[in-house]
Amino acid sequence: MREAFLHYIWKNKLLEKQFYRTSSGEQIELIYPGTQNFDSGPDFFNARVRIGNITWAGNVEIHYNASDWIYHGHTTDNAYKSVILHVVYNDDSDKYTALLNIETLEIKDKFKPSLYNMYKNLNPNDSWIPCEANTKRINLHKSHITSYIHRLFKERIDYKVKQISQSLKNNLSSMEQTFYQSLLIAFGFKTNALPFELLARSLPCQIVNNHKNDLLSIEALLFGQAGFLDDKLLKGYPKRLSERYNALKTVYGIQSLDKHIWKFLRMRPGNFPTMRLASLSALLYKKGALFELVITCDDLKSLKDLFKVSLSKYWMIHFHFGKISKRKVKGLGEASIDSILINSVLPFLIVYGQQTQDYQIIAKAMSFFGQIKPENNTVTKKWKSLNMPLLSAVNSQALLWLKNNYCDHKKCLSCAIGQQILNSS
């Protein structure tokens, strides 16, 4: 039995009852399974359970055996400190949980055995998408796929526009703060989007703008607020950053985030959050009102050029504080800039165009999507291997949306490809 099946049981609340006993004998009520995490760290975030008389909100880790906690190296990993419940198929040893002070729930006898057979049928050979075996049929309908791709792209953009519009409301209609927030989330890419969002919320753009001519202060604010300058052992340039941050922190009454929220695992050093923060600092330096520059760019090249920045000297030979690396030209590469434009800048331009009724800006943003290369990631590569057309960011955005919102939820009956397959069978 694979852990994916246990995730499926937990995520879809398929345990037979709502109340159980944990391995230590405490009564537990399952309230909310949380959001599944596909990156490093616990399997589910923000779950809610009631253990005894206390309602807990936090993360859940799932394993086949309780002892996997040790074998997977979670004991010394700070990312697992916030786990409130260890869900296991088989509680093979209570010494681990006693050691960790985390309640364990064994689910071996707590779901219908027929579920496992059903799960295997729904996931034949664990295929990447349910209709993978029908890809030849998909090929037969390429002309339909092209119009379907445009429909999916529109769904994806509408979703992003809605998110940014909501954020604009939350920011009391401040375009500048909303742009800054959306930009920072995009700088986190998928893995560090949440920490970057927390950073944007805890360090308003107005504070950064006040120091737009002083790179040391901008880096001090961003790295300090992110929690990277807490280390008492810092020396040299990091120490200067730390001293500057401590002074600014008192002036603005801000509190740093916990540095453990940042993820570095399975990342190329160039994508470390520290490198992203260094690029962001360089970008905000002298370009405080970046969004003004963005809305006045008339062609894609000028827009991309805005994001080509040189990092401060320290970051030319470091990927992280205190660890010297080879001297290298660092900064945002072409693919990273494209990703930031696709996920933040262009959707923001559409929102801006809607708010100001400037339809030319909306048309410009939509045309830029068609000029940007398709994203190159595991999902788009897989679609490519299934002969799906990948001509521009319009296609890659549409296909990412299809995978995440239709295929992964088995919404084949709501999908134009699924309907074609059914009609041709």
In angstroms, what is the minimal distance from the CB of 193 to ligand SF4?
24
Smallest distance from ligand SF4 to CB 385, Å: 14
CB 290 within 8 A of CB 306: yes
The radius of gyration of the chain from alpha carbons, rounded to an integer in Å, stands at 24
Asked whether 212 and 288 are in contact (CB, 8 A), the reply is yes
* Complex with ligand SF4: residue 141 or 308, whichever CB lies closer: 141
Residue 145 as a binder of ligand SF4 (CB under 6 A): the answer is no
Residue 105 and residue 129: Cα distance in Å, rounded?
A: 31
Restricting to residues 383-402, which ones interact with ligand SF4 according to CB under 6 A? 402
Task: Report the alpha-carbon distance of residue 29 to residue 112 in Å, rounded.
Answer: 19
Contact 104, 88 (CB under 8 A): yes
- Of 66, 131, 152, 342, the one binding ligand SF4 (CB under 6 A) is 131
Q: How far is the CB of 37 from ligand SF4 (least distance, A)?
A: 22
Stretch that binds ligand SF4, among 17-25, 239-247, 370-378, 408-416 (CB under 6 A): 408-416
Does residue 406 bind ligand SF4 (CB under 6 A)? yes
Measured from the CB of residue 136, what is the shortest distance to ligand SF4 in angstroms?
13
Q: In whole angstroms, how close is the CB of 325 to ligand SF4 at the nearest point?
A: 42
> Applying CB under 6 A, which of residues 28, 100, 107, 129 lies at the interface with ligand SF4?
129
Nearest alpha carbon to residue 347 among 362, 332, 334, 358: 362
Q: Is 407 in the site for ligand SF4 (CB under 6 A)?
A: yes
What lies within 8 Å, CB to CB, of 50 at 6+ separation is 28, 29, 31, 56
Between 171 and 420, CB nearer to ligand SF4? 420
CB contact at 8 A, 135 and 420: no
Nearest in space to 294 (alpha carbons), one of 308, 307, 282: 307
| CB closer to ligand SF4, 278 vs 400 | 400
Residues lying near ligand SF4 in the complex (CB under 6 A) are found at 129-131, 402, 406-407, 411-412, 415, 417-418
